[in-house]
Amino acid sequence: MSRVLNLSRREMLHGLGAGVLALGFGFPARAQGGAGFGAMIAIAPDGAVHFTCPSSEMGQGTQEALARLIAEELDCDWARMQVLLPWADRAFINPGMGKQMTANSATTVGYFLPLRRAGAAARAMLIQAGAARWGVAADQISTQAGEVIHAASGRRLTYGALAQDAARLPVPGDVALKSPADFRLIGGKSPRKDLAAKVTGRAEFGVDVMRPDMLVGALALAPHPRAKVEAANLAQVKAMSGVVAVVPVDGGYAVLASRFWTAKKAAEALKLTVLSSPTAGVDDKAIDAALIRAFAEKTPLPFPDFDFSTMRPRAGGGDKPAVLAALAAAPRRVEAEYDVPYLAHAAMEPLNCSAILADGQLTLRGPMQSPEDVRALAAKMAGLPLDRVRVEVTFLGGGFGRKWATDFPIPAMQAAMAVPGRWVKLIWTRENDLAMDQFRPAYRVKSVAGIGADGALVAIHSRIAGQSINTYHGRRGFPGMADPTAAGLLIYGCYAPVMKLMEFHEADLAIPVGFWRSVTMSQNAFFAESFIDEVARAAGRDPYAYRRDLLAGEPRIARALDKAAAMIGWDRPKAKGVGRGIALTYNEGHVCAQAVEVRVNKRKLAIRRIVAAFDCGVMVDPAGVESQISGGIIFGLQAALWGGVSFAEGRPAISNFNDVRLPGLADVPPIEVALIPSGAKPGNAGEAGTPPIAPALANAIADAGAGRVRRLPLSQRFELENA
């Protein structure tokens, strides 16, 4: 993306009235759907800048970061800038992903340059309009806080006063961007734009949507979204007081009423008979058996030695005969087997969506990470052209990947189609939300390493067994290559020179699975960084120093590792029962190294400190980045300590937060985050803090002399106590 294009620049004029400047910016043509353009910036007559944020805001601060990009180059009055929520539209695609979706921590990365260019183009048009108004050269004009200034004459005009004139000008094809030395918002501090609305309750989350004469729905669901059920007492429930309709939907029935409590009690009264279910008879023993069979019976698919977590992975390596020969010839071998369980998302706001079918148009409104995909699916299911479907995004009360899925708007749409002309808000209870989650898959890994006579790491072969997220969702991968959501970075490519072989054995399980915060690395950081720790100890080396040697060609990663080691006091003497562990995760856009200090006394585990060193290049909002890393650590800590979903009789054995142990304030140890400045291009931060905490904690426990943890969660072996 190298140009700001003069296309659809008046699309938003009708929204804010006369005298409004609306600016669209262009995206490169893509294979699917062609080029998309849209107006995100509008300047009202009073000078207020309205910015429609193209991504979903679920607490991670995208509204704040993207608004800063626009305001920095536009040079507007930041205090008066208003940020609006988006709707599904190709105008809002993320250029780095080619879609309108908020996932993979790709928001700042994808929009960093396009939004800055859009802001700079708008500023250039305002300067040109001011110069024409005063009859002076444009290079004599400057801007400040939403005003165009001619210093020689002392004249000033607000952006609002010039908006109408500026709107008539062509959008410049090339614009100069500010030097980082001139940034006043990027990298600075200010209260978040969404903070006041959330504190006062004015922010609209999905569950807050209210419309006149709205119906509210509750669900009675099958044990699996693709199960077939029937209700034996359907007529009786339809006749219950206050019930307006009982609608068959995917996975069960939606009961509609004027009040949620009425709908909920009626839904609970439905007596469902399961006719068929893909998970019939599945329990923990069946899952374990499926993983064993996968290793024994499924031909493994190889995965190249590249970094899946980048949007454009770099492939290489994977010579199986050479790796196996190197392992066979190695003077010493290290073998280990690891397990992680299924994990629930458990976002604070349960799934919900509102919808209406009226006058031949279907409108959906709710907390969605992928509105473009929801819109396409809704159009297909309703048999409507795409331009007759509108999908509006509210604030999200947490997502973690769950609200990236498109399953939960479907019942709302189906219910709305059954009562045309009326809004329907379908609220999933916490029990519905957890029972029908798209879980992070359970995985088992078998790793073998060969160590030379000098202790050097020669080769690693790691095999992983579990479900394929891509298979469950019907997405085709590359022929002959393992699903990257299972096998990516199972062995770190940054550790060199080491021969590597990664393979995936796909298990025959039909449990609903989906993306969970940090996707592949949520499990593979634990496997990779635990095993490298074991290899180091088997070689008689310090685990930090061993990693450091393997990172000789990766100065950026090594710098973060060094910082984390220094922060935890790696070389300081330790008392008996005290251990320190270190681990890292990385991709093209970031490096996150974490270290943990623990005290272990038999089954009692006390986490004394957690430190993190983080480098994601240019940071638009450093305070937000620090919060993302701290929050990601706590999210990953919960999974490492208590996470895990058991299954019995084809259903997940969890119902509400009483079955999901969450950390309280007393459970969270001191967390220190060091942000490492670098000149690298902006990278991702939202998921980076989650993966390293589990291996760092397991490595610290081993260092304390309490044995090697190879199975999560840790609550199976330890009881957490305050440090």
What are 224-259's pLDDT values in tens digits?
Answer: 999 999 999 999 999 999 999 999 999 999 999 999
Q: Taking residues 584-591, what's their average pLDDT?
A: 94
Same domain for 462 and 401, yes or no, is: no
pLDDT bucket at 36, cuts 50 / 70 / 90? very low
> Using CA atoms, how far apart are residues 360 and 357, in angstroms rounded to an integer?
7
Same domain for 248 and 147, yes or no, is: no
pLDDT of residue 29: 28
Pair 42, 35: CB distance under 8 Å: no
22 has pLDDT over 70: no
Q: Which of 199, 223, 245 is the last residue of a domain?
A: 199
Same domain for 362 and 338, yes or no, is: no
pLDDT of residue 3: 28
Q: Which residue has the higher pLDDT, 222 or 13?
A: 222
432 occurs within a structural domain: no
Torsion of CA 154, 160, 162, 167, to 10 degrees: 160
Same domain for 631 and 543, yes or no, is: yes
Same domain for 48 and 116, yes or no, is: yes
Q: Which of 168, 199, 230 is the last residue of a domain?
A: 199
Same domain for 258 and 226, yes or no, is: yes
pLDDT of residue 10: 28
Model pLDDT for residues 618-671, shown as the tens digit of each residue: 999 999 999 999 999 999 999 999 999 999 999 999 999 999 999 999 999 999
Q: What pTM was estimated for this model as a whole?
A: 0.92
Same domain for 618 and 691, yes or no, is: yes
Supply the DSSP symbol for 87. Answer: B
pLDDT bucket at 167, cuts 50 / 70 / 90? confident
420 occurs within a structural domain: yes
> Using CA atoms, how far apart are residues 615 and 590, in angstroms rounded to an integer?
5
pLDDT bucket at 202, cuts 50 / 70 / 90? very high
Query: How many structural domains does the chain have?
Result: 3
Same domain for 332 and 188, yes or no, is: no
Query: What is the widest separation between alpha-carbon atoms in the chain?
Result: 84
Q: Which of 427, 448, 480 is the last residue of a domain?
A: 427
- The residue range of the domain holding 103 is 13-199
Considering only CA atoms, which of 84, 78, 7, 80 is closest in space to residue 38?
7
Task: Say which range, 360-374, 467-481, 519-533, 606-620, has the weakest mean pLDDT.
Answer: 467-481
> Using CA atoms, how far apart are residues 167 and 160, in angstroms rounded to an integer?
11
8 occurs within a structural domain: no
284 occurs within a structural domain: no
Same domain for 47 and 106, yes or no, is: yes
433 occurs within a structural domain: no
Contacts of 644 (CB under 8 A, 6+ apart): 341, 342, 343, 712, 713
Q: Which amino acid is at 667?
A: D
pLDDT of residue 411: 97
Q: Where are the beta strands (DSSP E) in 287-409?
A: 301-303, 332-340, 352-358, 361-366, 389-393
For position 323, which CATH number holds?
Answer: 3.30.365.10
> Using CA atoms, how far apart are residues 475 and 270, in angstroms rounded to an integer?
34
CA 495 to chain centre: 26
2 occurs within a structural domain: no
Same domain for 563 and 477, yes or no, is: yes
pLDDT of residue 483: 95
Contacts of 201 (CB under 8 A, 6+ apart): none
pLDDT bucket at 427, cuts 50 / 70 / 90? very high
Supply the DSSP symbol for 602. Answer: T
Same domain for 151 and 264, yes or no, is: no
3 occurs within a structural domain: no
> Per residue, what are the HEC states of 273-302?
EEEECCCCCCCHHHHHHHHHHHHHHCCCEE
Same domain for 242 and 379, yes or no, is: yes
283 occurs within a structural domain: no
Paired sense of beta strands 719-720 and 604-615, if any = parallel
Average pLDDT, the chain: 92
